[in-house]
Structure 1
Amino acid sequence: MYKKRIVVKVGTNVMINKDNRIVQPILKKLVDQIAELYEQDIMTVLVSSGSANAGREILGDSEIKNKSIRRQVYSAIGQPRMMRYYYSLFHDYGMRCAQVLATKRDFNPGEHRKNMINCYEGLMSEGVIPIANEDDAVSVTHSMFSDNDELASLIAELIHADMLIILTDIDGFYTGHPDKDDSELIPEVRVDQKVEQFIEEKDKGETSGRGGMGSKLKIAKHTASKSIPTYIANGKKDRIILDIVEGKDVGTRIVE
């Protein structure tokens, strides 16, 4: 029986370099932390972006003009590669992982939702780390999540997680653009606290993904309103997940 269950979402910009290529040592650092938590009887569900970038590395520049189809193709090619990375890294710890792909409609009340719950509960009961992502190969228009932050939030609610950690490439939520000298990190935001005015029209979001800071804040507030403390933090920092779980003063915490 696990003491806690947490959801960690890692964004595209956490795991790529300036050439938009997947940085495997970053993935290893994430797995190292998840493995350490596992030894403490804390189960992690990992929501991982990166499949489209991984697919682009394999296929190169596609001649497909339609952006949606091009994303489907890149993601379908890249998803096995991402899972190969994760499988190898967890295998080094003697751990097992599993891929769980979903569309937004899978979380609607009914049989699909029950199946999702059964899948996650079954995997965790066997000590298997679920690695979730949007099923980009078939998820288009109405079945799409706004971004993987939304997927992570829905999973956190689904499994009654103790916390949600959203990892991006900046330290948290600021009083302005993170690059400005007068901007300050906000360590805690309440659900009813009005801080949206600090979000600039073109904020520093995940430029290789779909979710910017405005989206993250909205989803974090929603998740926190369900009694699931949510953190926005820099996934490139060493031990960031462990620091958050240990209650250290890092990132931005969103609470009721």
Structure 2
Amino acid sequence: MCSSSSSDIKRVVVKVGTNVLTNKDNRILGPVLRELVRQISVLYERDIMVVLVSSGSAIAGKEILGETNINDKSIRRQVYSSIGQPRMMRYYYNLFHDYGMRCAQVLATKRDFDPGVHRENMINCYEGLLSEGVIPIANEDDAVSLTMSMFTDNDELASLVAELLDADRLIILSDTDGLYTGHPDDEDSEKLTEVTTDQRVEQYIQASDKKEGEGRGGMASKLRIAKHTAKKDIPTYIANGKRENVIVDIIDDKEVGTKFIHQ
């Protein structure tokens, strides 16, 4: 089992999902983005660097372009994401600037994580940014990422980044408080506060999972990724991104969300 005090934590990867960043009408929520950046600034003041893996570009692009006549789902995602990426970065740039911080965009495909020159270049880029106190914002390079070069979703990208940088924590922010024994809205459902990598909890997924909007990930993906990352001795959390101070509370080892550890 891997454990450490918050003073030992120096690098954290935070993935924020589409359902956290949007409302029921699939509109980007500015206050949620601001709260996210505020918490990252709190960790920054503690000398804890965060790599942010942010969804939302497809929704942001759709807000600008509106409905399209493109029938192919993959091409439609490419177009929306390509339009939405600059808008999301403008949001983040302005918010980080308000807190006296700098951010940078790092786009990648799955192949960039394969052993070789591309992987080394990625490491060098991240290390360079982190050494300068710049917050990397990672996302899939949707314009060129198709079929074999696609990530399953941003949960997988976040896990790969956490492994790449030997992060101390991976925090996956969703629109639920963690993994439940049933659907989160059912009175009989209980939240699991801690799950070990050898613990069989997959049977709870069908009742609790839900996929909405433009996001590709669901709880089944989050569980798989959380266990995989925890096996790399990176404690991983699934928590509610709309909960106030959720990231800071996790770093302070408060009982928030579901924690996955290797045993």
TM range (shorter): over 0.9
Distance 1:56 1:161 in 2: 33
Cα RMSD (Å)? 1.1
Offset at 1:19? 0.6
2:5 alignment partner in structure 1: none
1:156 alignment partner in structure 2: 162
Question: CA 1:37–1:227 in structure 2 vs 1: closer, same or farther (change >3 Å)?
Answer: same
Offset at 1:202? 7.2
Offset at 1:206? 5.3
- Please say if residues 4 and 41 of structure 1, whose CA atoms lie closer than 8 Å, have aligned partners that are also in contact: yes
1:116 alignment partner in structure 2: 122
1:191 alignment partner in structure 2: 197
| SS of 2:206 mapped into structure 1 | coil
Question: CA 1:232–1:206 in structure 2 vs 1: closer, same or farther (change >3 Å)?
Answer: farther
The list of structure 1 runs, each at least 4 consecutive aligned residues, that deviate by more than 2 angstroms after superposition, is 204-208
Alignment-mate amino acid for residue 159 of structure 1: L
- Please say if residues 12 and 206 of structure 1, whose CA atoms lie closer than 8 Å, have aligned partners that are also in contact: no
Q: 2:61 aligns with which of 34, 37, 55?
A: 55
Alignment-mate amino acid for residue 218 of structure 1: R
- Runs (5+) with no aligned partner, structure 1: none
Question: CA 1:206–1:239 in structure 2 vs 1: closer, same or farther (change >3 Å)?
Answer: farther
- Please say if residues 100 and 133 of structure 1, whose CA atoms lie closer than 8 Å, have aligned partners that are also in contact: yes
Distance 1:241 1:202 in 2: 22
Question: CA 1:3–1:175 in structure 2 vs 1: closer, same or farther (change >3 Å)?
Answer: closer
Matches within 5 A, 1:212-227: 212-227=218-233
Matched, 1:37 2:32: no
Offset at 1:179? 1.4
Matched, 1:253 2:259: yes
Distance 1:164 1:3 in 2: 11
| SS of 1:167 mapped into structure 2 | strand
Length, aligned pairs only: 255
Alignment-mate amino acid for residue 69 of structure 1: I
Distance 1:74 1:106 in 2: 22
2:88 alignment partner in structure 1: 82
Distance 2:258 2:128 in 1: 32
1:141 alignment partner in structure 2: 147
Q: TM-score w.r.t. structure 1 length?
A: 0.98
Q: TM-score w.r.t. structure 2 length?
A: 0.95
Matches within 5 A, 1:158-173: 158-173=164-179
Q: 1:174 aligns with which of 180, 183, 197?
A: 180
Question: CA 1:255–1:116 in structure 2 vs 1: closer, same or farther (change >3 Å)?
Answer: same
1:21 alignment partner in structure 2: 27
**Identity in percent:** 73
Matches within 5 A, 1:1-16: 4-16=10-22
- Runs (5+) with no aligned partner, structure 2: 1-7
Distance 1:246 1:68 in 2: 40
Alignment-mate amino acid for residue 117 of structure 1: I
Distance 2:60 2:9 in 1: 34
